[in-house]
Amino acid sequence: MKSLRVVLSLLALVAAVSAVPSHRIVGGEFTEEGDFPEMVSVYTDPLIGSKQHLCGGIILNDNHVLTTASCVNGRSSLHVMGAGVSLEDQSGYEEHKTVNMVIIHPDYDSVTKAHDLAILKLSHNFIFVTGLISPAVLPAPDTAEPATGTKMVAVGWGKDGPDGELQTMQKAVNMTYLSRDECSVIFGTFVQPNEGCLEGGDGHGICLGDEGGIAEDQEGTAMALVSWHVSCDAFPAVVTLLAPYHEWITSHFDT
């Protein structure tokens, strides 16, 4: 019964937000190779059907990637692409790997999106190249929640607006962090422990396909991953902080 109430409340929230006009593109700048060497595209490439970008992810080490559970849970034929900003392999430097194992956080809740993290074990190791492809810098496990107003950048290949299309070129957008308390003022009990929000300026925000993308602070630390959002630039996006999950993430490096 509790899950049903949550679903109905989410549907009501989505319906309310859908009434907000939002015809502007989601702002940001196109990136270049090496700007965010830890970023990957997570995509599906089935034997029957077409290749499709699903979400972003970040490189943890040479054969593990971190993304959102909501993106990959129940999916098959998963792959990742690193060392590239184009989904169309324009540079020739791109590294494509097959996902051999998906490790969903044991407490992930598909309804509330609590603990929205998954580790992808790859078939082959990445070949790290300085300035092109390298692991993310994770926050230390005792890192405090960022203060409201902390500047961050979000990266991804998501849609350029609510009615737009997925971008074939990676983009980055400047955002501002809102603490869990501030985020809860907007979304109430939908905001779970270890979550916060990213807020963009006018015409700047996160959209469909940006889930799993990095939220990086000004020191280059991967502070959070984008979890979910309502509409695109009309409301802040909810992110999962990574510091509280440091032990869980690193405990799977030998998997």
Strands 171-178 and 29-30: antiparallel
For residue 169, the cross-strand partners are 86
Q: Residue 71 has which token pair? A: 């993106």
Count of structural domains within the chain: 2
| Contact criterion met (CB below 8 Å) for 198 and 144 | no
Of the residues 88, 118, 136, which one is the last residue of a structural domain?
136
Residue 195 and residue 122 share a domain:
no
Per the model's pLDDT, the better-predicted residue between 232 and 185 turns out to be 185
Same domain, 119 and 144: no
The three-point CA angle 216-86-250 to 5° equals: 40
Instruction: Tell me the sheet residues that pair with 104.
Output: 118
CATH code of 161's domain: 2.40.10.10
pLDDT in tens, 50-99: 889 999 999 999 999 999 999 999 999 999 999 999 999 888 899 999 99
> Do 143 and 218 fall into the same domain?
yes
Residue 61 has a CB neighbour count (10 Å cut-off) of 14
Identify the CA nearest to 212 among candidates 178, 245, 238: 238
Q: For residue 10, is it within any domain?
A: no
- Looking at 133-137, 168-172, 218-222, which range is the least confident one? 168-172
153 and 131, same structural domain?
A: no
Does residue 238 form part of some domain? yes
Helices of type H across the chain: 2-18, 69-72, 180-187, 246-250
Tell me which of 112, 136, 160 is where a domain ends: 136
Q: What confidence tier does 231 reach under pLDDT thresholds 50, 70, 90?
A: confident
